[in-house]
Amino acid sequence: MKISQLFKDTDKTVFSFEVFPPKKDSPIESVYSKLEEICSLKPDFISVTYGAGGTVGHSRTAEIASKIKNDFGVESVAHLTCVNSTKSDIDANLDDFVQCGIENILALRGDYVSGVEPKKEFVYASDLCSYIKKKGDFDIAGACYPEVHIEAKDEVEDVLNLKNKVEAGAEHLISQLFFDNSVFYRFLERTKIAGINVPIEAGIMPVTNKKQIERMVSMCGASLPAKFSKIMQKYEDKPEALRDAGIAYAVEQIVDLIANGVDGIHLYTMNNPYVARKITAAIANLL
């Protein structure tokens, strides 16, 4: 099913997950039992990340997205980055997606990898959106940044670039993680002013260990509200308490987002079935 259709067909808050493929040196089957458990929670769809370096043809992303859809019965979205790919690399990936029955793509620019010269055939995600749109019958999603993309000059430039990406074919948007809902609400106001009218999902990352939060925040620049930092400080050396507090914080964010009528919640599960299960159970009656 196309994800844009899912948003049209439902008046409930869409609830989706993100998972990632195993590292190249681990067998692909190593994540299957976790994925099966995560799929048994029946989210509306699951998106599968794509390695920053770019892959030609059969990627683990395609394989995992196919497994989720065809064996575990949950609609999937394959992420695809373009900055380190040529058009023929992208064509090979698109052919592969068709073979695997994948209809939905999260079209991304991707990050520059140090020591890897970008291929320059695609400069922005919007270039990839228009390319995919011409190439086949795919449903395209795009990424967005409530706290403004790290390279953008300011929030006005960023939202205008986002509008350009929607005009190039992105039919729904998934946000970067954030820990302060008021940041997301201000972002939604900017998108409205800019005339962006596609569904926007809020990206929620339940923080369950200290390393994870430090890594994510340094990579994506998410700001940490004082309330959140207090929790991290109090429980940083008590792994189970930190996990439970992280889950409780994410649930509180989600309840507030649903009450404020957001289009969808995209949960960064980090391939953790326990966390996904706890959060799904806590909000099951609220969607």
CB of 244 to ligand FAD, least distance (A): 26
Gap between the Cα atoms of 82 and 110, Å rounded = 6
Residues of this chain that interact with ligand FAD (CB under 6 A) are 49-50, 52, 79, 81, 108-111, 124-126, 143, 149, 151-152, 158, 161, 164-165, 174, 176, 203
Taking the least distance from each CB to ligand FAD, the nearer of 145 and 231 is: 145
Find the shortest distance in angstroms from Cβ 96 to ligand FAD: 16
**Nearer to ligand FAD (CB atom), residue 7 or residue 50:** 50
Helix and strand numbers, DSSP H then E, in the chain: 11, 8
User: Which stretches does DSSP call E strand in 184-232?
Assistant: 200-204
CA distances in angstroms from 23 to 29, 72, 90, listed in the order given: 11, 21, 21
208 near 275, Cβ under 8 Å?
yes
Let me know if 103 is a catalytic residue: no
Among candidates 19, 76, 70, which has minimal Cα distance to 45?
Answer: 76
The CB-of-173 to ligand FAD minimum distance in angstroms stands at 8
Closer to ligand FAD by Cβ: residue 157 or 252? 157
Query: C-beta of 131: minimal distance to ligand FAD in Å?
Result: 13
Side chain identity, residue 201? E
Q: Which is nearer to ligand FAD, 6 or 231 (CB)?
A: 6
Distance CA(251)–CA(215), nearest Å, equals 22
As annotated, the active-site residues are 18
